[in-house]
Structure 1
Amino acid sequence: MPIKALLLSLFLLLPLALPLTAHADWYQTQGSAPLSAGKETARQQALEQALTEALLQAGASLTTVQSVTNGALLEQRLDIAAQGELMDYVILKEWSSQGRLWLTLRADIWPDKAITPQCNSHYHPGITLTRFAIQYPEQARFGQIYDLGTAVTARLTQQLSPIVNLMTSLPHQVLTDQRLPRSPGLRQGADVLGKQQQSRLLLSGVINDISMEEGNWMKWSLSDMPRQFALNVTLEDSFTGEQLLQKHYQVEAPWGYSKHAKVRVQEQNFWHSSYGQSADQLLQQVVRDVVSAQSCMKAIGHILQQSDEGILMDLGRQAGIKPGDRFTLVHRRQIQPGYYSETSSEAQFVVQQSHTDYSLLAPADHNAKQVRITPGDVLTALH
């Protein structure tokens, strides 16, 4: 369903009469769009982007399928399950900057208490982002954009940081370890993360297409040469080896530079170009997919120490752990690299104190007081 039709349908859902005791929530968001397609089109696209973001903040589950041609958003279909109804909005500010129209709005969203959220978990697993590499470096010769992988990683870091528990960013690429026998297998870097207990999730990727036609001088002079931007992204659980996200993203957009120009992809001017904007939109979709993929995960904590006071666990406030959260003990043994044996225990523990990166748990029942903890045991959250 096109966004215009979707938004119209949301407004048509507005009840004719609302109870006086009901309460609406306001969400302030920002949207932008390129001015190349005209001011009215840009305003509509920026408005749709900001309203979509408001629905996401209100607890919507959103899946986007988009196609971009020549740097312009031609079609965007949304499958959305909102936790409320969009009742009204007010545009607070509108301005133009570097070829884009920007606006800030405040949306009034009526919460729907009858809808059950997809996830009740407040757990925020730590994520390590590894540098994206260019699979075919020879494709970077136009524009001399050999450091595009570093620039893309930095851009993704900037977009992820405010909304996920991004703990570290590796300056090198991590490749799949084919020596591990099971499919899909753990990555070598994920094993390292798991052993060092730095973060639970590994986000990695490779830029596998930035190709464009050779073209002669006349073609470069008289037309905007199209260029591909494609990447494969994987999000995997370093503790279980599960791949939470494995997806291919691709877009084609006008390059917009001369044949022999040297383009500085680390600078804002590149990201404001038609090609940079299209790549940025693709990265925003990656961010949404990453957030969705890790949103329903169950917390798993490593036991650091056991004493008379309770159990010290390596998850704390940074991971969303709060006093009162309950965990059950799981006996976990490694059989060989990539293979584990797990036995659930009936013993339960409750969080008494939650600090930045650790928590103190106390036995919640008689079984927990009697159970013996051995190296390798973990704590799994109870929803």
Structure 2
Amino acid sequence: MTGLKLPIYLISVWLLLCSHTVFGIWFNATGQAVIHDGNKAIAKQQATQEAIKQALMFAGASVKSVQHMANGLLEQDKFEVMSSGEVGTIELVDEIYHGDIVTVSIRVDIFPQKLACQASDYKKDIVTTWFQLSHRQQAAVGNMYDFGKVLAQELQHKSRSSAKYSSITQLEPYYFRPDNNNLQSSAFNLAKKANSQFVLFGEVTKFAVETQQKSGFSFWEKEQIKRNLALTVSLVDGISGEIIFQEQQEFSAPWDFDLHQDINAQSPSFWKSRYGQAAQQLLQDLNEKIDESVSCLPAFGRVINVGSEQITVNIGSQNGVRSGDTLTLFQVEQLYDENNQIVKQYQLHPEKVVVKSVFAKSAILISEKGALLANIQPNDFVARR
């Protein structure tokens, strides 16, 4: 009696990182299957189905049936899926027969679907820093040079108290503003340092006082003073380097304080003022935008410790991890194409892992089938699928 040969899946995802527009992502998937009774056609079909199934599930799809595939790749095969993306093209790259094993390689082009998705039930961790003032002289009115720090703290509070799919779990105590040339590398480093999946960069680009000119016919009216606020943010995936969104939110509201008065930006009187209430609304809108942007994205955890029989990851009960959950292990490599653009290659580990023990910020995982966890190292990742 021969030993059981388990299918091995290898997925390589080549993702060209774009600043604004999200294009289709090519998933290169390889599946293997055993040839029984010399029936190569059925084995090829099984290997292809498994490869496509793994690619789609890794992209966020939920496979309903694996019986027929359209588009001419295999005339008798089709996948019916509920997906967070749309499948554009499926190409048969290669098929290799070796003994009683067939290996099939495919390419799947998947486009993001913005209208509907099947959200992960894990919360995604976000790290940010204090928001730097791009024009510090504008903070002189009120002596509010720490306003960017206070804004970041308030946003973290809103995220922790009301966000459904994410949480700003880490606020680094310093000001940081990366430029577009090092945005991705800064995100990689900060996400790794803070054990977070996403990185939020923020900058206060406007914080100026505006004095409305009185008309000659209303000289008796009190001069109205307003102050503006513009906050520019970038949310970046700390694993892939993809920019999830970039935008600027701003407003102008009455300034209810004397121009020569020092203002404590953390005081209740400030946040109850008309300007403070407008700032609260801006932060709430931003919090909802962040949460919406990551709601359909999978939750990833980072491997922080490895043993022969178990591994430890940096997500736990605060993310929604529960004992008995099944996760997928994968590795990420950073490469460069011929245009010196960053691409990412994702490789799935053949062994599924199960959550054995859960703590607030970490969890211990073991192999689903009791096998040794070989070729796993710190800074590999797990995903809930």
TM range (shorter): 0.5 to 0.7
| 178, 186, 203: which one aligns with 1:176 | 178
Q: Which residue identity does 2:358 align to in structure 1? A: S
- DSSP-derived class of the 1:369 partner: coil
| Aligned positions of 1:81-160 closer than 5 A | 118-160=117-159
Q: For 1:115-135, what per-residue CA distance to the aligned partner results, in whole angstroms no more than 9, with x for missing partners?
A: x98544221122222101211
Q: Deviations over 1:42-84 (max 9, x none)?
A: xxxxxxxxxxxxxxxxxxxxxxxxxxxxxxxxxxxxxxxxxxx
Name which one, 1 or 2, has greater alpha-carbon Rg: 2
Instruction: Give the counterpart letter for 2:330 in structure 1.
Output: V
CA distance, structure 1, for counterparts of residue 314 and residue 132 of structure 2: 32
Q: How far apart are residue 273 of structure 1 and its match?
A: 0.9
Aligned to 1:378: 380
The 1:341/1:197 distance shift into structure 2, 3 A limit, reads farther
State the match for 2:319 in structure 1: 319
Would the alpha carbon gap of residues 220 and 334 (structure 1) be closer, same or farther in structure 2, given more than 3 Å must change?
farther
Cα distance per residue 1:219-241 (max 9 Å; x no partner): 89713222211111222221221
Is the aligned partner of 1:362 residue 2:366?
A: yes
Which residue of structure 2 aligns with residue 202 of structure 1?
199
Task: Assess, with a 3 A threshold, how the Cα gap between structure 1 residues 210 and 364 changes in structure 2: closer, same or farther.
Answer: same
- Aligned counterparts of 1:153 and 1:315: Cα–Cα separation in 2: 23
What aligned pairs does 1:1-383 form with structure 2 within 5 A after superposition?
118-163=117-162, 164-180=166-182, 185-188=183-186, 190-196=187-193, 198-213=195-210, 222-335=222-335, 339-365=343-369, 369=371, 372-375=374-377, 378-383=380-385
Contact residue 177 and residue 187 of structure 1 kept, 8 A = no
Distance 1:361 1:147, change over 3 A: closer
Determine the C-alpha separation between the residues in 2 that align with 1:215 and 1:313. 56
Structure 1 residues 123 and 355, CA, compared in 2 at 3 Å: closer, same or farther? same
SS of the equivalent of 1:153 reads helix
Task: Return the letter of the residue paired with 2:210.
Answer: E
Partner-residue secondary structure (3-state), 2:175: coil
Structure 2 residues not aligned, in runs of 5+: 1-114
Residue pair 1:175, 1:187 contacting (<8 A) in 2 also: no
Cα separation, partners in 2 of 1:303 and 1:146, compared to 1, 3 Å: closer
In the superposition, relative to structure 1, how do residues 154 and 300 fare at CA in structure 2: closer, same or farther (>3 Å)?
Answer: closer
Change in CA separation of 1:293 and 1:235 when aligned onto 2, cut-off 3 Å: same
Q: Could you tell me how far apart the structure 1 residues matched to 2:342 and 2:147 are? A: 33
Deviation at 1:307, TM superposition (A): 3.6
The answer on whether the counterparts of 1:256 and 1:273 sit within 8 Å (CA) in structure 2 is yes
Kindly tell me: are residues 227 and 351 of structure 1, through their superposed partners in 2, closer, same or farther at Cα, counting changes over 3 Å? same
CA positional deviation for 1:285: 0.7
Deviations 1:246-284 (A, max 9, x none): 221011111122333332222111111111111111111
- What CA distance in whole angstroms lies between the structure 1 residues aligned with 2:194 and 2:335? 19
Q: Give, in whole Å, the separation in 2 of the partners of 1:173 and 1:122.
A: 32
Residue by residue, what CA displacement relative to the aligned partner does 1:134-182 show, whole Å, maximum 9, x if unpaired? Answer: 11122223333222212222222322222453332112122225554xx
Give the AA of the match of 1:172.
Y
Match of 2:377, SS? coil
Give the SS at the match of 2:176: coil
Asked if 2 retains the 8 angstrom alpha-carbon contact of 1:326 and 1:381, the reply is no
Residue segments in structure 1 that go unaligned for 5+ positions in a row: 1-115
Which amino acid in 2 is paired with 1:294? Answer: V
1:292-342: CA deviations, max 9, x gaps?
Answer: 223233122233344453333232212221123222222323447965432
Equivalent pairs counted in the alignment come to 261
Deviations, residues 23-50 of structure 1 (Å, cap 9, x unaligned): xxxxxxxxxxxxxxxxxxxxxxxxxxxx
Relative distance call for 1:212 and 1:304 in structure 2 (3 A) is: closer
Q: Is the 8 A contact 2:304 2:312 kept in 1?
A: yes
Q: Which has the higher contact order (CA 8 A, sep 6+)?
A: 2
* 1:327–1:379 contact (8 Å) kept in structure 2: no
- Report the TM-score, using the length of structure 1 for normalisation: 0.60
SS in 1 for 2:157: helix
Deviation at 1:369, TM superposition (A): 2.8
- CA RMSD, aligned part only? 3.1
Q: Which residue of 1 aligns with 2:39?
A: none
Deviation at 1:370, TM superposition (A): 6.6
| Worse overlay, 343-352 or 201-210 | 343-352
CA contact (8 A) 2:211 2:225 kept: no
Residue 152 to residue 179, structure 1, CA distance change in 2 (3 Å):
closer
Secondary structure of 1:239's partner?
A: coil
> Structure 1 residue 198: deviation in Å?
2.5
- Percent of residue pairs bearing the same amino acid type: 25
Segment drifting more, 207-216 vs 271-280: 207-216
